[in-house]
Structure 1
């Protein structure tokens, strides 16, 4: 081998060692960088006219386990979905309250029962009659607060849907732009791995909102499809459409057209979870707005209806005229079963018994339709009111089991239904988070191993030194030849 050929070989080795040292240093410095994929330098023998001419650099690639990455993205979506649902159900459960908690729904019922018992023992006591009014007012206020918070949660979910749809659209446009930039970099023979890292982080963001599958295309391009079958990116990005509601009331549903669904490129898609765009945090927000929150509202509306109907029974208060509301009213009027949605937010104590609304306490004792205060020692009506509250009856609506329940028993059923749903969601969340954590650990194990990289760097240093020594020896030989 001639000196010039040896020099050329050593120079290519020196270049390859330098490039490999650069790759190793990049790996070490980005060991904790989220979304960074370990780089690998690929080398091959170089020949010129059938004669070895050193080593050539074929390129730098990203070491990514595509199967593991896809599974981790699905796990991210599942964990986010389950977490949002669990948080919502836990929020409603706290608002209803445990029976032993002061201010809970069950405690409000118990307080009203106790107030009626105390008043029936001293029907002449204005203070005890006032306690009944206060307990009944606290009960209606609690139901109203529950209803308001459920609708607030729906509005927050609607706002989140708008935000995530905007994020989804922006991310898809950015991924499409990175596809084009990566293609241009590859065509120019430049390293595009940093752009691929950026693209991976964007796809990860999309996958949290909607579970997706990444499909590789030629020249390092990618396409994105949801697990529900929708095309998000294939040649050009899809446009997801959504119109926020702003204000949501209990009677507003997606079925009635009062709330917006989702569209893909102008075509409506089922706004369900799971569904075409379900399974991630977007699907969870849709489920809260259109399923979980309306379901919770329906339960407390059914409880409010049962409460009103208990005291509208003619046998409870014979003085009440036909068409006149009982102790509890629907915004001051009689119950209309066809307008049950949002009833918990409209239930009110009858103004006839509330002094603060111009009523009189003696009507709790004499009757809502009584002409006068009557016998101050007569506890018949107060006993009837207490019996109505404690009597077991089958609720007229709601997703209950159909068994007869007292008011306190029905309140316990409402809490039990929410608690059961929360526990199921929590169980799904626990599984999803455990799976997500395991996949993240596997992905990290496949990432940058700084110990291995440092060992590689030592080998690179030795190779660099060897090639440099060869160049030095050749230089000495050439200098001797020149001096002859």
Structure 2
């Protein structure tokens, strides 16, 4: 080997070592950077010229795409289950359990106890007043549950709007990065940093809508939802949604009063079972707004209807005429079965006995339609009110099964249903979280190992020293030749 060949070989080695050191340093510095993939330098022997040296082929970005794809799907499932579990937990908390002060079951028990107490001393005004307040507390508790359910729907609607905006921005970002990566690769410049940014954006997209990634030419990618919808193929799809901000019990996606979802102006199915974007946090919010909360609302409305029907029966209170509202009313009106939707929000105590509205508590003892106070010692109506509260009867609405239920039984069934749904979702969440954790650990195992990188850096230092020694030796030999 000639001196010039040795010099050229050593110089190419130093250049490769310098580039390798830069990559290793970058790996160590970004070991905990989200989306960063470990890089290595690809080198080979260069014998194309008169001298043998080291050729730098490029930078290799190490990712296990299958693990990343599986992790994304697990993250979408975890986000979906987390959102539905949170919504069900909130509704469950609104209803409460019998041992909780202020729960629906506790309010029913308090009301029943106030009736029993008043029955023992029907002449005691304070006991009759306690019945009125107990009935009003029960009505207001049902109001609060219904309003909490609508607040959950409103929150879901706002979340959908925010996620659609994020999703559109992220898809546009991937489209832009695709173009930059193609351009960079065409110029034979390393595009790893751009690919890291794109991976982060796709991770964000997949949490909202689980996606499948398809590689395209020159480093570009296409994105499809697991339901088959094209989200990015060259150009990004545009999702559309019109927020309602405040959702009422009378609005639904079926009657068009609530917005659905569009892709490039075309409406798509947003159901949790066969929706084309199902599986992520976006459809979870649609499920909360359009399925979970409305189902809970219909059950609470059925409870309100049962209360109104029980106490406006003239066989219970003979002083009531046809069409007269009973102890519980629909905003002061008698029950209209055609307007059951939202009844839980409108449920109220009859103003005739509502102390806060100037009502008179003696009417609870003598009848809502009584012209004047009757026998102060007559507890027959109070006993009838107590009995009708605990009487079991088939339910005209709601989904409580074929069994006959008392008011307490309806509340218990409602609480049990919501609790069972929440428990089922919680189990699914635990499974999805465990799966996500395992896949995350697998992805991290393929990431940057700082110990291995330091070892690689030591090898590079040795290679640098060897090449530097060759340069020094060649320099000494040139000096010797020049002195001859």
Normalised by the shorter chain, which TM-score bucket? over 0.9
Match of 1:197 in 2: 196
Q: How does 1:33-432 map to 2 (within 5 A)?
A: 33-48=33-48, 53-274=52-273, 275-432=275-432
Within 1, Cα distance between the matches of 2:474 and 2:185? 37
Query: Is the CA contact 2:307–2:328 (under 8 Å) kept in the aligned structure 1?
Result: yes
Q: What SS does the corresponding residue of 1:393 show, helix, strand or coil? A: coil
Length, aligned pairs only: 483
Within 2, Cα distance between the matches of 1:368 and 1:314? 10
Shift of 1:345: 0.6
Query: Is the CA contact 2:6–2:51 (under 8 Å) kept in the aligned structure 1?
Result: no
Q: What SS does the corresponding residue of 1:123 show, helix, strand or coil? A: coil
Match of 2:474 in 1: 474
Within 2, Cα distance between the matches of 1:103 and 1:112? 12
Within 2, Cα distance between the matches of 1:247 and 1:80? 24
Match of 2:3 in 1: 3
Shift of 1:75: 0.6
Shift of 1:165: 0.2
Within 2, Cα distance between the matches of 1:344 and 1:125? 31
Shift of 1:189: 2.2
Shift of 1:52: 5.4
Aligned-residue CA RMSD (Å): 1.0
Q: What SS does the corresponding residue of 1:351 show, helix, strand or coil? A: coil
Within 2, Cα distance between the matches of 1:48 and 1:154? 69
Q: What SS does the corresponding residue of 1:353 show, helix, strand or coil? A: coil
Query: Is the CA contact 1:45–1:52 (under 8 Å) kept in the aligned structure 2?
Result: no
Within 1, Cα distance between the matches of 2:354 and 2:43? 89
Within 1, Cα distance between the matches of 2:482 and 2:48? 27
Within 2, Cα distance between the matches of 1:249 and 1:96? 19
Q: What SS does the corresponding residue of 2:218 show, helix, strand or coil? A: helix
Q: What SS does the corresponding residue of 2:47 show, helix, strand or coil? A: strand
Unaligned runs of 5+ in 1: none
Q: Give a deviation string over 1:307-359, Cα, whole Å, max 9, x none.
A: 11111222101110001011111111111111111111101111112233232
Unaligned runs of 5+ in 2: none
Query: Is the CA contact 1:118–1:128 (under 8 Å) kept in the aligned structure 2?
Result: yes
Within 2, Cα distance between the matches of 1:194 and 1:358? 73
Match of 1:463 in 2: 463
TM normalised by structure 1 equals 0.98
Within 1, Cα distance between the matches of 2:272 and 2:437? 23
Within 2, Cα distance between the matches of 1:324 and 1:97? 32
Q: What SS does the corresponding residue of 2:52 show, helix, strand or coil? A: strand
Query: Is the CA contact 2:260–2:268 (under 8 Å) kept in the aligned structure 1?
Result: yes
Q: What SS does the corresponding residue of 1:333 show, helix, strand or coil? A: coil
Within 2, Cα distance between the matches of 1:281 and 1:459? 47
Q: What SS does the corresponding residue of 1:352 show, helix, strand or coil? A: coil
Q: What SS does the corresponding residue of 2:462 show, helix, strand or coil? A: helix
Q: What SS does the corresponding residue of 1:44 show, helix, strand or coil? A: strand
Query: Is the CA contact 1:144–1:345 (under 8 Å) kept in the aligned structure 2?
Result: yes
Within 1, Cα distance between the matches of 2:346 and 2:483? 108
